C-alpha cells in the first residue's frame, strides 16, 4: 500500500507541476522581450517541475532519515509507529486511533491492543484501551487495568492525567524533526531553482556570445 500511495502522489505532483508550468509561461510571455524569450519561457515552464521534484525528493530522503533516527514510521502509507520507553512501541495500522503497544524483541513482555489514547510518564505509559484504562510499567513489563480514569489518576498521583490521541502522540514525537527537515528541504529547493536559472541563462548567453564572435570572425 505504501508504494501505491507514493506512486499516486507522484502522479498528482507531476500533473500539478505541468499545469503550473503552463500557467507560468502564459503569465510571463507578454512581459518577455524577444531577447532570450524561448530560453526564459523554457525555464519558467521547468521551474515548478524542478521545484516540486526537488522538494518531494528531498522530503522523502528526509523522512527516511528521520524514520531511522527516531524509530518512527517513514511518514506515508497506512501504518504508524512511535517509540515508547524501554524498547516498547506504539503501532497502528489503517487508522491511528486503533493502536497496539508491544516490545518486539521480547515475547515475554505484555502487549496491549485497542489503544486509543496514551500518555508517557517517566518509564510508565498510561492510556485508554477499549473501555478500560491501563498503566504499563515498561521497566518490569507489567500492565494493570483500571475501570475508570479516576482510579488511574489516584494510582499515578495526578489530578488530571490528560491523555492524548494516538495521532497527536505520533505527531509530537516527530514534530520538531519534521519542521527542521521541511526548512532544510525548502532551502535545498530554492538553491536548486537558483542553479537552474543561473546555469540556464548563462548557458544561453555563452552560446549567443560564441555565435556572435564566429559571425564577426567569418
**The pTM is what?**
0.77
CB atoms within 10 A of CB 215: 8
- Work out the pLDDT band at 90, boundaries 50, 70, 90: very high
Look at 100 and 31; give whichever has higher pLDDT.
Answer: 100
Q: Is the pLDDT of residue 35 over 80?
A: no
State residue 20's pLDDT score: 93
Which residues does residue 135 pair with via DSSP β-bridges, in sequence order?
Answer: 126, 144
- Work out the pLDDT band at 160, boundaries 50, 70, 90: confident
State residue 147's pLDDT score: 92
- Is the CB of residue 81 less than 8 Å from the CB of residue 72? yes
| Nearest of 68, 56, 55 to residue 174 by alpha carbon | 68
- Is the CB of residue 17 less than 8 Å from the CB of residue 49? yes
Chain mean pLDDT for the chain: 86
Q: Backbone phi, then psi, for 147, in 5-degree steps?
A: -75, -15
**Of 68-77, 99-108, 208-217, where does mean pLDDT reach its minimum?**
208-217
As given in the structure block, the three cell numbers for residue 25 are 509561461
State residue 185's pLDDT score: 96
Tens digit of each residue's pLDDT (9 = 90 or more) over 114-152 = 999 999 999 999 999 988 999 999 998 899 999 998 899
d(CA 122, CA 126): 10
- Work out the pLDDT band at 188, boundaries 50, 70, 90: very high
122: region left, alpha or beta (phi > 0 left; psi from -120 to 50 alpha)? left
In the three-class reduction of DSSP (H, G, I as helix; E, B as strand; rest coil), residue 95 is classed as coil
CB atoms within 10 A of CB 152: 22
Residue keyed to cell 523554457 = 42
d(CA 103, CA 114): 16
In the three-class reduction of DSSP (H, G, I as helix; E, B as strand; rest coil), residue 91 is classed as strand
d(CA 61, CA 41): 31
As given in the structure block, the three cell numbers for residue 150 are 479516576
What is the DSSP code string of 9-33?
Answer: HHHHHHHHHHHHHHHHHHHHGGG--
Domain boundaries, the chain: 2-74+174-217, 79-172
Amino acid at each position: 500500500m505504501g508504494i501505491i500511495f507514493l506512486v499516486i502522489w507522484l502522479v498528482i505532483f507531476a500533473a500539478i507541476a505541468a499545469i503550473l508550468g503552463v500557467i507560468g509561461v502564459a503569465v510571463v510571455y507578454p512581459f518577455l522581450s524577444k531577447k532570450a524569450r524561448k530560453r526564459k519561457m523554457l525555464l519558467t515552464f521547468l521551474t515548478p517541475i524542478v521545484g516540486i521534484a526537488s522538494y518531494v525528493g528531498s522530503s522523502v530522503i528526509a523522512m527516511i532519515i528521520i524514520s531511522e533516527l527516531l524509530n518512527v514510521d517513514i511518514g506515508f502509507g497506512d501504518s504508524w509507529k512511535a517509540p515508547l520507553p524501554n524498547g516498547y512501541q506504539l503501532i497502528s495500522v489503517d487508522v491511528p486511533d486503533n493502536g497496539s503497544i508491544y516490545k518486539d524483541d521480547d515475547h515475554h513482555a505484555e502487549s496491549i491492543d485497542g489503544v486509543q489514547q496514551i500518555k508517557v510518564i517517566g518509564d510508565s505509559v498510561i492510556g485508554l484501551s477499549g473501555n478500560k484504562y491501563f498503566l504499563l510499567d515498561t521497566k518490569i513489563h507489567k500492565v494493570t487495568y483500571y475501570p475508570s480514569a479516576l482510579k488511574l489518576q489516584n494510582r499515578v498521583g495526578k489530578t488530571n492525567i490528560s491523555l492524548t490521541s494516538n495521532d497527536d502522540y505520533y505527531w509530537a514525537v516527530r514534530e520538531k524533526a519534521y519542521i527542521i527537515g521541511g526548512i532544510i528541504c525548502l532551502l535545498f529547493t530554492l538553491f536548486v531553482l537558483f542553479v537552474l536559472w543561473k546555469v540556464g541563462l548563462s548557458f544561453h548567453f555563452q552560446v549567443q556570445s560564441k555565435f556572435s564572435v564566429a559571425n564577426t570572425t567569418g
